[in-house]
Structure 1
Amino acid sequence: MPISAPKPCGHPGCGVLVRDGTSRCPKHPKPAWAKPVKATKRITGRRLQRMRADLFQRDPLCAECRRHGRVTLATQRDHIKPLAEGGADDETNEQGLCDDCHEEKSLAEALRGRRRSAG
């Protein structure tokens, strides 16, 4: 007896009905997430806190808002080129962003990552 109502496989272009409660048919299992081999190691701890403080002292405004003519305080330390895409975790690849701009940028990066892994 099925666990839930049949629904189409979540793989793009596959219309096989799945009856076991998962989102994929046996032919299209969902790939396990794995950190890319080339991903840069993330800085943590006191060194990260010092880098954040230095960034906000050096440049307290949101870089993206400033590009659009707005003045907003930065609250997030952001990597200009994401670590998952080979960016460095140092001051040459950091910018301050407000929460809204950081959220928007993070969503766009996640979408790019999903597209890369699906392709």
Structure 2
Amino acid sequence: MPRNPKRPCCYGGCPNLTGSKSGYCEKHEKPMQRYYERFARGYRQHERYGSVWRKIRDRHLAREPRCEMCKEHGRFVAATLVHHIKPLGDGGRYDESNLMSLCISCHEKIHRRSRER
């Protein structure tokens, strides 16, 4: 199967070509990911979501293995993510009442709506 043609790196002034999904060449991909993690997300993900969160997430997915939003529409889709209904940054907690199992597309829909506000 033929590959897509390489594109210029998204980093300003970089002459390198890349086939990466991120749009950055090998030289700029890691620094831009660090920039995103630190400044665009507003927190350090690894500090907030450690081993305790992974245990809670795994327990919740075992209890509720289907996407809750898809289930409301009569679809049966496996959940891969656990979403905080009230974000941790806004005072949300790891309580079961504040968690919901979602598939990737439903999780993206929720976050797209919150960014548009």
**Fold match (TM-score > 0.5):** yes
- CA shift digits 1:10-57 (9 cap, x unpaired): xxxxxxxxxxxxxxxxxxxxxxx8x6xxxxxx8421101101110111
Corresponding residue number in structure 1 for 2:112 = 107
| 3-state DSSP of counterpart to 2:82 | strand
TM-score, normalised on structure 1?
0.54
Greater relative CO (CA pairs within 8 A, separation 6+) = 1
Which amino acid is 2:93 matched to? Answer: A
Which amino acid is 2:88 matched to? Answer: L
Query: Equivalent residues in 2 for 1:9-24 (5 A)?
Result: none
TM-score, normalised on structure 2?
0.55
Cα RMSD for the two superposed structures = 2.4
- CA shift digits 1:57-116 (9 cap, x unpaired): 10100000001110000011101223344432332200110000000001111222xxxx
| 3-state DSSP of counterpart to 1:101 | helix
**Inter-partner Cα distance in structure 2 for 1:76 and 1:110:** 19
**Which blocks of at least 5 consecutive residues in structure 2 are unaligned?**
1-39
**Which blocks of at least 5 consecutive residues in structure 1 are unaligned?**
1-32, 36-41, 113-119
Q: Is 1:71 aligned with 2:99?
A: no
Which amino acid is 2:52 matched to? Answer: R
**Inter-partner Cα distance in structure 1 for 2:54 and 2:112:** 24
| 3-state DSSP of counterpart to 2:59 | helix
| 3-state DSSP of counterpart to 1:100 | helix
Structure with the bigger percentage of helix: 2
Q: Is 1:47 aligned with 2:52?
A: yes
